[in-house]
Structure 1
Amino acid sequence: MINIPDNISQHDNVFDVLKERGFVEQVTDEDAVRDLLSREKIRFYIGFDPTADCLHVGHFMQIIILSYMLKYGHTPVALIGGGTGMIGDPSGRTDMRKLMDTETIDYNCAQFKKLFDRFLPFDDECQYVGNGGVFVPGHLTKEPDPGKAISVNNGKWLRNLNFVEFMRTIGKDFNVNTMLRSEAFKQRMARENGLSFFEFGYMLMQGYDFYVMARDFNVQMEFGGNDQWSNIIAGINLTKKEINKDVYGMTFSLLTNSEGKKMGKTGKGALWLSADRTSPYEFYQYWRNVGDLDVNKCLRMLTFLPMDEVERLSSLQGSEINKAKEVLAYEVTKMVHGEEEAEKAQEAARSAFGGAADSDNIPTEEMKRSEFAGEGKGLGTILKELGLASSNSDARRTIEQGGVTIDGEKITDKDFAVREDMIGEEGILIRKGKKKVVRLKMK
């Protein structure tokens, strides 16, 4: 469970805390939202579409925000998109999401809930029941326990909708011209194959989510990443038109580096929150290796260190900034994987940096023995498959520039091949630069 210390901030309004930490990007009415969060303990929600069977570090940002709101007495609703996931959000995308069958979506939803349970306390007896379509509201079976979150799946009200009924009741409240000006659709429309009607309907579904949440859950706010602004506004407008209720929206900065690129991508893909997808060591190393200019932002958003400590650490100069990166990597890894795994990862990283090759915690990858038979397997191919290089050209360039060692020996021949007789029982240690190391064994 995430536990935010009492000394996280001198502010007593969570809006000011979130703003201080650099989260707040856009607010529908800042003065009204600050006042609301000061006067009342509200219910609010964040949506999570189950596009995979695991949460990644982008989701973790939202989990941290849920945790802050819970800390200050508000009730989070984690909305899992068993309904919206049937289409997939086109926001920020230039391609159509891969369609998943219902069984896959339901499995992914269940996996999301398991991960949520690692970080937040839920009142699982508080369930949503009774929705019978557009005109038949549902309700919660009980008031949620104080200090606990609620989890709900929007498939409960989206999957049983009648299309004609939905379009007559909800579709009439959406203006197509306004929708087409939305950032959510611009990139898709610029592509050769354009924007499908299938994707175009996503905004109606997410807007309807907010309306149902406001009507049946008494939710007063929706939060989301900055790319969700148009969808949130759609829900606010729909709720006002249908039930004349004022609700609010707030979006948060996406986790980007100093160059504006999304963080959380590795050579192997996304930075996942499950240890079987991204090992604690790999997770730790990602944060240990962030750019110097990104340290302050990551410490503010991904740790619960007091702001004066954040400023002290991120102001370190030269090689001293590495101390701040170690603190960052340890704190984030501890939050995601626990203190024991964070300590193991830190020990393994220090061992690797020091040149030791015997740490049990250095990540190990296995490849089939047959791949190394005869003339062996190209080192460039190995680097790419291990996630130590992004492409074949990146691998060749790194080798030629002297950035790769095998068991401490620098390799500069781009055509170098690793043979079976080179790999002993303990494997070989392949390093890229000073910060990435993998033990390779045969199976």
Structure 2
Amino acid sequence: MSKNPVLAEQQNDPSFENVFQELKWRGLIHVSTDEAALEEALCGERLTYYCGFDPTAASLHLGHLVQLLTMRRIQLAGHRPLGLVGGATGLIGDPRQTGERVLNSPEIISGWVQSLQNQVKHYISFDGENAAQMVNNLDWWQGVGALEMLRDIGKYFRVGTMTKKEIVAKRLNSEEGISYTEFSYQILQGYDYLQLHRDYGCTLQFGGSDQWGNITSGTELVRRVENAHVHALGTPLITNSDGTKFGKSEGNAIWIDAELTSPYAFYQFWLNQADEDVINRLKVFTFRTRDEIEALEQSVKDAPFKREAQRTLAWDVTRLVHGEEATRKVIAAAEALFGKGEVTEIDEPTLQAVAQEVPTAEIAAEEANPINLLEATGLCSSKGEARRAISQGGASVNNTKVQDPEALPAAEDWLHGKYLLVRRGKKNLALVNRA
């Protein structure tokens, strides 16, 4: 069983009997090699497949979560996953549209490899007949010399074909161009597929559709060297209904590491998905059945104000990534922030996450009377307006209605010794830090 109890719940889901059609219904097949042959392979005997993740940061983000959950879906259909974290390819970096990557040191890459391996392990099962296995392409690449690479691998690649790969072509036509280092990346990834085919009998590779050129380099190399036909699949790049890039909040990536994106901020990101997007998000990022998703789709049409689909999405994905206990805590914290619970139960990381979303101010304890708090945070534009808000019963500190506009908070009122939650009305919230 999977170490992730949420994923383990899906073990006997009958929808995975034809995982190809399941992936298609969920919108997870953007491009593939021979579709009929791929469906037949996925509906046949157990096959071995892989998806690769390069350590270009200390954590994976929501774009990678698409691949992680696709790995799990295919494993639930009875197939065997190889989780590849690229200790070698991470030293090079795949070409980006925006220009050359900064090359990080081997020591940094090594640490990131370990971090990403631990994250990948959370989403696939390492038990049973189709137990997953982690692999690192540095294990085979570190023993390959330059001459060996050129003679035994490079001769199978045609420069004309390599330059036609979409991202390479774009970079070649840019002012910056592309270095030989990044141009060679597709050789590295292509050889990974060949190595995994030889060592593990791997016959399917998948990844984001932006990696399609690198992925098909592998299928072509296996064909040329081994005279074998293997499969490839590209998942779509997820976008919002307005065409903007999915997976960012306030311009920042949403990471699956709780230290980089707090569970509270993570939950709020999913809760704030637009009605136009939420059903597609449920298909891609949850294991809800077709019937459940269709019912939620109807709820969006009939009672969008209830936001049942968004709440289901936020619960499912946060629980999947951060666990049930953390998810219950962030829901309780969200309720407490708006007067439906005890604010003293909100942990400090959650308050720090709240600070990224609401007005904040820093004020000394001896000056932290309600009037100054309301003015400093911008909830009121002046001391006079603050006095009126208080006299009308429309101001609270830590969910307690303000009675005395001059009263200073007691030492124990400061949450974790340094925060106050200030509210004007029901929805206007701010956070004060103790100077």
Which band: TM-score by shorter chain?
0.7 to 0.9
Q: 1:328 aligns with which of 310, 313, 330?
A: 313
Aligned length: 381
Q: Which residue of structure 2 lines up, in the alignment, with residue 239 of structure 1?
A: 222
2:379–2:424 contact (8 Å) kept in structure 1: no
For 2:135 and 2:424, the matched residues in 1 are separated by 44
Q: How does 1:162-241 map to 2 (within 5 A)?
A: 162-241=145-224
Matched, 1:425 2:414: yes
| 1:44 Cα deviation after fit | 0.4
2:377–2:431 contact (8 Å) kept in structure 1: no
Matched, 1:277 2:277: no
Q: Which residue of structure 2 lines up, in the alignment, with residue 112 of structure 1?
A: 116
1:221–1:249 contact (8 Å) kept in structure 2: yes
Q: Which residue of structure 2 lines up, in the alignment, with residue 12 of structure 1?
A: 17
Instruction: From the CA coordinates, give the structure whose radius of gyration is larger.
Output: 2
For 1:194 and 1:422, the matched residues in 2 are separated by 62
The verdict on how the C-alpha distance between 1:328 and 1:434 changes in structure 2, with shifts beyond 3 A counting, is farther
Look up the SS of the partner of 1:45 in the other structure: strand
For 2:337 and 2:132, the matched residues in 1 are separated by 41
1:78–1:150 contact (8 Å) kept in structure 2: yes
Q: How does 1:359-374 map to 2 (within 5 A)?
A: 360-361=345-346, 363-365=350-352
1:4–1:304 contact (8 Å) kept in structure 2: no
1:46–1:77 contact (8 Å) kept in structure 2: yes
More divergent stretch after superposition (157-166 vs 264-273): 264-273
* Structure with the higher helix share, 1 or 2: 2
Q: How does 1:111-130 map to 2 (within 5 A)?
A: 111-122=115-126
2:190–2:215 contact (8 Å) kept in structure 1: yes
Q: How does 1:256-405 map to 2 (within 5 A)?
A: 256-267=239-250, 269-315=252-298, 316-317=300-301, 319-320=304-305, 322-353=307-338, 358=343, 360-361=345-346, 363-365=350-352, 387-388=356-357
1:224–1:250 contact (8 Å) kept in structure 2: yes
| 1:438 Cα deviation after fit | 6.8
| 1:355 Cα deviation after fit | 7.7
| 1:95 Cα deviation after fit | 1.8
Look up the SS of the partner of 1:221 in the other structure: strand
The verdict on how the C-alpha distance between 1:297 and 1:7 changes in structure 2, with shifts beyond 3 A counting, is farther
Look up the SS of the partner of 2:337 in the other structure: helix
| 1:434 Cα deviation after fit | 9.3
Look up the SS of the partner of 2:345 in the other structure: coil
CA-to-aligned-CA distance 1:33-54 (integer Å, 9 cap, x gap): 1111112110000000011111
For 1:121 and 1:97, the matched residues in 2 are separated by 33
Amino acid of the structure 2 residue aligned with 1:441: N
Q: Which residue of structure 2 lines up, in the alignment, with residue 51 of structure 1?
A: 56
Look up the SS of the partner of 1:179 in the other structure: helix
Amino acid of the structure 2 residue aligned with 1:213: L
CA-to-aligned-CA distance 1:57-102 (integer Å, 9 cap, x gap): 22211111111111111000001100101111114x3121221111
2:375–2:381 contact (8 Å) kept in structure 1: no
Q: 1:410 aligns with which of 366, 376, 379?
A: 379
1:285–1:435 contact (8 Å) kept in structure 2: no
More divergent stretch after superposition (6-15 vs 95-104): 6-15
For 1:308 and 1:179, the matched residues in 2 are separated by 44
% identical equivalent positions? 35
For 2:202 and 2:425, the matched residues in 1 are separated by 50
Q: How does 1:69-148 map to 2 (within 5 A)?
A: 69-91=74-96, 93-122=97-126, 146-148=129-131
Q: TM-score, normalised by structure 2?
A: 0.80
The verdict on how the C-alpha distance between 1:168 and 1:433 changes in structure 2, with shifts beyond 3 A counting, is farther
Amino acid of the structure 2 residue aligned with 1:33: L
Amino acid of the structure 1 residue aligned with 2:129: P
Look up the SS of the partner of 1:46 in the other structure: strand
| 1:147 Cα deviation after fit | 3.5
1:223–1:250 contact (8 Å) kept in structure 2: yes
Q: TM-score, normalised by structure 1?
A: 0.78
More divergent stretch after superposition (79-88 vs 57-66): 57-66
1:364–1:438 contact (8 Å) kept in structure 2: no
Matched, 1:441 2:410: no
The verdict on how the C-alpha distance between 1:322 and 1:431 changes in structure 2, with shifts beyond 3 A counting, is farther
2:193–2:205 contact (8 Å) kept in structure 1: yes
Amino acid of the structure 1 residue aligned with 2:292: E
2:99–2:176 contact (8 Å) kept in structure 1: no
The verdict on how the C-alpha distance between 1:406 and 1:146 changes in structure 2, with shifts beyond 3 A counting, is farther
The verdict on how the C-alpha distance between 1:438 and 1:78 changes in structure 2, with shifts beyond 3 A counting, is farther
For 1:263 and 1:200, the matched residues in 2 are separated by 27
The verdict on how the C-alpha distance between 1:273 and 1:430 changes in structure 2, with shifts beyond 3 A counting, is farther
1:365–1:441 contact (8 Å) kept in structure 2: no
CA-to-aligned-CA distance 1:382-414 (integer Å, 9 cap, x gap): x9xx5449xxxxxxxxxxxxxxx889963569x
The verdict on how the C-alpha distance between 1:6 and 1:116 changes in structure 2, with shifts beyond 3 A counting, is closer
More divergent stretch after superposition (425-434 vs 47-56): 425-434
For 1:323 and 1:408, the matched residues in 2 are separated by 32
CA RMSD after TM alignment: 3.0
| 1:217 Cα deviation after fit | 1.4
